[in-house]
Amino acid sequence: MPQMNMIQALNSAMDITLGRDPAVVILGEDVGYFGGVFRVTDGLQRKYGTHRVLDTPIAEGGIIAASIGMAVNGLRPVAEIQFADYIYPGYDQIVSELARLRYRSASAFAAPVTIRTPCGGGIRGGQTHSQSPEALFAHVCGIKVVMPSNPYDAKGLLIAAIEDDDPVLFLEPKRLYNGPFDGDPNKPAVPWSTHAKGEVPDGHYTVPIGKAAVVREGREVTIISYGTMLHVAEAAARALGLDAEIIDVRSIVPLDVETLVTSVAKTGRCLIAHEATRFAGFGAELVATIQERCFWQLEAPIERVGGWDTPYPHAFEWEYFPGPQRVGAALKRVMEAR
């Protein structure tokens, strides 16, 4: 089985869906000739032509609006928003139109739109290139939200998203695109940055949306995370020598509540970690969900680790980023509580 990084896996997913279904089209800023700012769509316009892989103006609202029009007329658009930080001009189109289309038309229209966008920090992008807005979209009824943590899941989830008849926001942690940044003094390597590539099948396969993954089984504590933070949490658990059960949420909406509850009921302790701002982040919903269903099995208060409640800084990125030390400190608290 070939080794791919996340960029290669995502590119393979779009290549396969473009080849299998003539209704699939890709659109966005610089996705064609340039191959995307991170080269995720590299080579696709050369292979499928400008009528299938379209460069658009810098107008996120227009990209989403055009995608909705394509979808209701039988296409399956895959729209790229160059950075998640730039998605807000298209937010009204997503919330008021795209997410509501099936409901308001009594299923007369479907909206098979996939919105791809890089999210998170770790590349010294500062406040306008490092945001993680998953909680804003998880609150919106009618749109699915996913975030992979590895190349295998990235490809399978993206194929599943493109083939889904409902809109999917596909968040891609840019820190995981290429793996470690060893040798670049401006992008320092960190202890958990060892996940550049993984085994990914060449052909078509899907990873089901709505199903979490038990990455590692354990009995002492449940760690729930997604995206880049999954690897941070794994590193923190290893450093402490904990027999931790680690769950990759993968699908934020719909959420696999059963897998989370089963694990916490077994271990009795839980830590939730995400990169986004802590206050009103998606971790709050995870805490509430587990508290409601596992109250009598909990042996300690649920711990939650997230980004600070400030804009994402440029100069102090690694102080802001919830790294292994902060996750480890929270793990110690949850294990020592009685």
The DSSP code sequence of 180-236 is --TT-TTS---TT---S-EE--SS-----TT--EEEE--SSEEEEE-THHHHHHHHH
Kindly report the CATH number that applies to the domain delimited by 213-336: 3.40.50.920
pLDDT digits (tens, 9 = 90+) for 157-211: 999 999 999 999 999 999 999 864 333 334 444 444 445 688 999 999 999 999 9
231 is catalytic: no
- Residue 68 identity: I
**Res 196: pLDDT:** 67
φ/ψ of 305, rounded to 5, equals: -120, 130
Secondary structure class of 263 (helix, strand, coil)? helix
Query: Measured between alpha carbons, how far is 125 from 90 in angstroms, rounded to an integer?
Result: 21
Q: What is the pLDDT of residues 275-328, one digit of tens each?
A: 999 999 999 999 999 999 999 999 999 999 999 999 888 888 888 889 999 999
Please tell me the number of Cα atoms within 13 Å of 128 on its side-chain side: 1
**Right CATH for 3-199 from 2.120.10.80, 3.40.720.10, 3.20.20.150, 3.40.50.970:** 3.40.50.970
Mean local confidence (pLDDT), 151-158: 97
Catalytic residue among 129, 195, 231, 274: 129
Domain ranges in the chain are: 3-199, 213-336
The pTM assigned to this predicted structure is 0.94
Q: Supply the Cα-derived Rg of the chain in whole angstroms.
A: 20
